[in-house]
């Protein structure tokens, strides 16, 4: 199996292995898209939206030519003989150029990608197809509820209710508008939140419950800036720091690229899996934000400071508690990282199988750390630990987020971009798609 060395930085995301040399243009432009959204200062939740728009445009452009899957838009028509490579490149470039016109990496990358494709009608037809797909995806997402920014100001100081933390701007809790965004992979009327009900977790544990006390005391013990190595082992401190600066969208797009290259997946297959992954991740974040602002659960930072007020005799307060990493400025339950990462992992598991992979992650923002994974669940387990050992989430936040993300990914997978000619039952779980893929390649 080909090996990978992926480095995530706050400015650029680069592949540094033989995989990069053998990657196709879909994988190349996924890396360029990630690099662009990071370098342009987008939030982790915006990563998911921009990547979903980009990868759906790429999918639609490629699929208009290959016709391997049921389309997303169904309105992109490709000239006979159009180049799928040129279509993918043009689709990604035109989406990114629309949203980030001043990004300095886009024009040189576009020129280099097109220079590698022979001139002629196939190339020009592919470019036109990609341009059409990009324009239609951009138009579709205009006014999708992701902007303008909205803030939430807490109206209650009751125990258990979210309060502003030191990381918050004066305007209040961030990302409040995200719950109103139209999803990509679940049918919904614009601006409606009704679709979320089928996925949203129930209420968090009561403050007086055993589960609350258990999870409270766990994060209090392991998540403080002053927790020692017996409470927070070095490897858990490492994952907390690593995933504090590595969004689930970026991590799992990188993982997908490594696995896709190792699998030798086709251009069409890569376009589809990256579209599904980013659709599911985005929709999970939308549902997670709705749930956060519905239940308005306080963060451990506030809960531990006010532990004497929660009515639970097993939760002693600690006015000196400071979390190991910075607390995000929105309610705790469920975890955004938990929902988005498990959603992405579920898509990849259904396509490539749960394990037997070679995934390597390193982050230049956290020098000296390298993580090696053989399964997608190993990554999600580390992300779950990262938020608890970082002192910013209760374990029940992570568990609820994981369930939410997996449920949305399952829906997105079953109802979008289905293969036109498949050995699998489109109405079934399709857990063995990776077996079918391997069979067809033998």
Q: Give the integer Cα–Cα distance in Å for 356 and 375.
A: 6
Q: What is the pLDDT of residue 17?
A: 35
User: Residue 9 above 60 pLDDT?
Assistant: no
Going by pLDDT thresholds of 50, 70 and 90, the confidence category of residue 79 is very high
Among 10, 286, 50, residue whose Cα is nearest residue 145: 286
Going by pLDDT thresholds of 50, 70 and 90, the confidence category of residue 178 is very high
The lowest-confidence range among 232-236, 246-250, 283-287, 291-295 is: 246-250
Q: What is the pLDDT of residue 366?
A: 86
Going by pLDDT thresholds of 50, 70 and 90, the confidence category of residue 380 is very high
Going by pLDDT thresholds of 50, 70 and 90, the confidence category of residue 436 is low
Q: How far is CA 409 from the centre of its chain?
A: 11
Work out the percent of the chain whose per-residue pLDDT is above 70.
90
User: Residue 3 above 80 pLDDT?
Assistant: no
Q: What is the pLDDT of residue 434?
A: 62
User: Residue 429 above 90 pLDDT?
Assistant: no
Q: What is the pLDDT of residue 441?
A: 40
Burial class (CB in 10 A: 0-12, 13-18, 19+), 311: exposed
User: Residue 368 above 50 pLDDT?
Assistant: yes
Mean pLDDT to the nearest integer, 373-397: 98
Q: What is the pLDDT of residue 13?
A: 39
Higher per-residue confidence, 44 vs 422 = 44
Among 137, 72, 73, 185, residue whose Cα is nearest residue 414: 185
Q: Give the integer Cα–Cα distance in Å for 22 and 33.
A: 18
Q: What is the pLDDT of residue 60?
A: 99
Which domains are present in the chain? 6-18+146-441 (1.10.606.20)
Q: Give the integer Cα–Cα distance in Å for 433 and 422.
A: 9
Q: Let me know: does 204 contact 400? Beta carbons within 8 Å.
A: yes
Mean pLDDT to the nearest integer, 104-109: 98
Q: Give the integer Cα–Cα distance in Å for 302 and 349.
A: 36
Residue 272 in tokens: 């589809």
Q: What is the pLDDT of residue 6?
A: 30
Q: What is the pLDDT of residue 437?
A: 54
Per-residue model confidence as pLDDT tens digits over 325-358: 999 999 999 999 999 999 999 999 999 999 999 9
DSSP per-residue letters across 218-263: HHHHHSBTT--TTTS-HHHHHHHHHHHSS-HHHHHHHHHHHHHHHH
Q: What is the pLDDT of residue 323?
A: 98
Per-residue model confidence as pLDDT tens digits over 137-158: 999 999 999 999 999 999 999 9
Residue 182 in tokens: 């139209």
User: Residue 250 above 60 pLDDT?
Assistant: yes
Q: What is the pLDDT of residue 19?
A: 44
User: Residue 364 above 90 pLDDT?
Assistant: no
Mean pLDDT to the nearest integer, 67-79: 98
Q: What is the pLDDT of residue 365?
A: 79
Q: What is the pLDDT of residue 140?
A: 98
What does pLDDT average to over the chain?
Answer: 92
Q: What is the pLDDT of residue 234?
A: 96
User: Residue 442 above 70 pLDDT?
Assistant: no
The CA R_g of the chain, rounded to the nearest whole Å, is 22
Higher per-residue confidence, 136 vs 430 = 136
């Amino acid at each position: 199996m080909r090996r990978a060395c992926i480095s995530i930085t706050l400015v650029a995301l680069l592949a540094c292995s033989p995989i990069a040399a053998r990657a196709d243009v879909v994988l190349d432009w996924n890396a360029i898209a990630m690099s662009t959204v990071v370098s342009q200062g987008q939030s982790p939740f915006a990563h998911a939206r921009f990547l979903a728009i980009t990868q759906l445009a790429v999918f639609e452009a490629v699929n208009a030519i290959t016709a391997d899957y049921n389309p997303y838009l169904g309105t992109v028509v490709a000239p006979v003989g159009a180049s799928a490579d040129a279509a993918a490149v043009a689709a990604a470039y035109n989406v990114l150029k629309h949203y980030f016109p001043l990004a300095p990496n886009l024009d040189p990358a576009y020129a280099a990608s097109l220079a590698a494709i022979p001139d002629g009608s196939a190339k020009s037809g592919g470019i036109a197809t990609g341009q059409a797909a990009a324009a239609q995806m951009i138009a579709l997402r205009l006014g999708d509820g992701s902007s303008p920014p909205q803030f939430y100001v807490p109206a209650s100081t009751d125990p258990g209710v979210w309060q502003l933390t030191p990381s918050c701007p004066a305007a209040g809790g961030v990302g409040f508008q995200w719950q109103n965004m139209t999803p990509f992979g679940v049918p919904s009327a614009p601006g409606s939140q009704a679709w979320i009900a089928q996925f949203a977790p129930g209420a968090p544990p009561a403050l007086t419950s055993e589960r609350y006390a258990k999870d409270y005391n766990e994060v209090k013990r392991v998540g403080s800036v002053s927790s020692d190595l017996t409470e927070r082992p070095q490897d858990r401190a490492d994952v907390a720091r690593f995933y504090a600066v590595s969004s689930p969208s970026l991590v799992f797009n990188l993982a997908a690229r490594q696995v896709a290259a190792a699998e030798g997946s086709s251009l069409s297959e890569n376009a589809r899996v990256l579209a599904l992954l980013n659709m599911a991740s985005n929709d999970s974040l939308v549902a997670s934000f709705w749930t956060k602002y519905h239940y308005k659960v306080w963060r451990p930072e506030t809960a531990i400071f006010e532990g004497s007020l929660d009515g639970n005799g097993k939760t002693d307060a600690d006015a000196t508690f400071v979390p190991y990493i910075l607390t995000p400025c929105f309610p705790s339950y469920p975890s955004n990282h938990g929902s988005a990462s498990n959603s992405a992992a579920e898509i990849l598991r259904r396509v490539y199988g749960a394990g037997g992979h070679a995934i390597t992650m390193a982050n230049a923002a956290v020098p000296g750390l390298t993580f090696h994974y053989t399964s997608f669940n190993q990554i999600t387990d580390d992300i779950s630990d990262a938020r608890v050992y970082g002192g910013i989430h209760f374990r029940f936040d992570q568990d609820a987020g994981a369930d939410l993300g997996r449920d949305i990914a399952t829906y997105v997978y079953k109802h979008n971009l289905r293969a036109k000619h498949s050995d699998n039952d489109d109405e079934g779980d399709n857990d063995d798609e990776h077996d079918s893929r391997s069979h067809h390649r033998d």
